[in-house]
Structures are given as structure tokens and as C-alpha cells.
Amino acid sequence: METKEVKHVDVWSAAKLCAAISLVLTLIAGIISGIVAALGIAVYTAAPTAAMVAGGVLGIVLGILVTAVVGMIVGFISGAISAFIYNLAAGVFGGLRIDLE
């Protein structure tokens, strides 16, 4: 087994990867919360009108999309900051050591 050291992480690639991961995770969380919201609307409203259903569906869909987009933006920013800090710390303390076969 060969030990290698990660001395530098590309900030742009780390930010893109974190944004993609955050998008998927927040999309899943948004869908789950949308289902819960839909169940809440269904339980709360005994006789919904078409306008109430349309408004509820629109609100749920927009909530899912906004959650996913905000999560992606936060993931991008946190990925860039984390990679930048990693690069500074790796310069002082040394990089992450990994074993490769």
C-alpha cells in the first residue's frame, strides 16, 4: 500500500461538488417536507376548493424548489470556504494522508 498526501484541493471543484451533493440532499428533504405539508393540508381542510388545492400545490412545489436552490447555494459557498481553509491548514500542518493500493 502506498501512502499519498493531499496537499491542495481545488476550490472551484470542491465548491461544485458540495453544491451538487447539497442539491440532492435538500431536494430529498424538500420532497419529504412537501409530502408532510400536503398531508397536513389534506387533514386540515375537509372540503377544499380548487383554488385552495392549487394554492397548496403551488406553495409546496415552490417550497421544494426554493429549499433545493438555497441548499445548493449554501453547499457551494461552504464547499469553497472549506477547500480554502483546508489549503491554508495543509500548508501549515501538512495535508490529509491516504493509503492507496
Q: Which residues of 40-55 are buried (b: 16+ CB within 10 A; e: fewer)?
A: ebeeeeeeeeeeeeee
Identify the DSSP state of 5.
Answer: E
What average pLDDT does range 58-77 have in this prediction?
92
pLDDT for position 5: 92
> Binning pLDDT at 50, 70 and 90, where does residue 60 land?
confident
Model pLDDT, residue 6:
92
Confidence at residue 34, expressed as pLDDT on a 0 to 100 scale = 84
Tell me, rounded to whole angstroms, the distance of Cα 90 from its chain centroid: 26
Is residue 82 over pLDDT 90?
Answer: yes
Tens digits of residue pLDDT in 24-55: 999 999 999 888 887 877 777 766 777 777 77
Domain spans in the chain, listed from the N-terminal domain onward: 12-93
Predicted local distance difference test score (pLDDT) of residue 93: 94
Mean of pLDDT over the chain: 90
pLDDT value at residue 13: 97
Distances from the Cα of 80 to the Cα of 10, 11, 98, angstroms = 9, 5, 22
Cβ atoms 64, 31 nearer than 8 A: yes
